[in-house]
Structure 1
Amino acid sequence: MSTPQPQTSSTAAFYLQAVIAFGISLAGCVVGIAYLPIDPWQRAFLAMTLLFVVTSAFTLAKVVRDRQEISTVRVRVDEARLEKLLVEHDPFRVAA
């Protein structure tokens, strides 16, 4: 029987790198939209599109994380149940 592998958490440096990369990319998009030589309504459309992309990316990341956590918990519960059954099973017990 395999033992469950502990989940590795992200280091502080990786978290900081992800936050900085997100901030720089978002700032670059905002500056790019602000300086485009287009009408204000087109600029507003691009800004709303960018906002929608960012919020849907966060939502997708949360859904993926939640699914992974649910499957991990389910696997651990199933393994605990199997372990309990194996511990309680006595092949030499006489049936009454």
Structure 2
Amino acid sequence: MSTNTKPKNTSAYMAQAAIAFAVSLFGTGAGIAYLPLDGWQRAFLAMSGLFLVTSCFTLAKVVRDQQETQSLIGRIDEARLEQLIAEHNPFKSVS
């Protein structure tokens, strides 16, 4: 039987993810700022980078929500099965 505890991320993992995000965002911004391009080309790259970041957040949220939904459905099915097993009496006479 499974437990209903949710896996938790460690603080080191959270820090590593935040640092990686900050470094990559800063690197992209600095790269766009120092490229020998016109203003509209820099603006296009910046807008594309921003869209990429926001779409990554949205995708991560959708994947997380889908996983949580599947987990909830599994727990409901498990509870129904346990209820059926608890109510089943193999020695009950059929009349």
* Counterpart residue identity of residue 9, structure 1: K
Runs of 4 or more consecutive aligned structure 1 residues displaced over 6 Å after TM superposition: none
Partner of 1:4: 2
Q: Is the 1:30–1:47 contact (alpha carbons within 8 Å) kept by the matching residues of 2?
A: yes
Partner of 2:94: 95
Runs of at least 5 residues in structure 1 that lack an aligned partner in the other structure: none
1:56-71 → structure 2 map (5 Å cutoff): 56-71=55-70
1:50, CA displacement in angstroms?
0.1
Q: Is the 1:34–1:43 contact (alpha carbons within 8 Å) kept by the matching residues of 2?
A: yes
User: % of aligned pairs identical?
Assistant: 56
Normalising by structure 2, report the TM-score: 0.94
1:38 is aligned to 2:37: yes
Normalising by structure 1, report the TM-score: 0.93
* Counterpart residue identity of residue 59, structure 1: T
Separation of aligned partners in 2, 1:43 and 1:73: 45
Greater relative CO, 1 or 2 (CA 8 Å, sep 6+): 1
User: Which SS does the other structure have where 2:37 is aligned?
Assistant: coil
Equivalent pairs counted in the alignment come to 94
Output one character per residue of 1:64-88: Cα deviation in whole Å (capped at 9) or x when no partner: 0000000001001100100000000
Partner of 1:24: 23
1:7, CA displacement in angstroms?
3.4
Separation of aligned partners in 2, 1:59 and 1:89: 45
State the Cα RMSD in Å.
Answer: 1.0
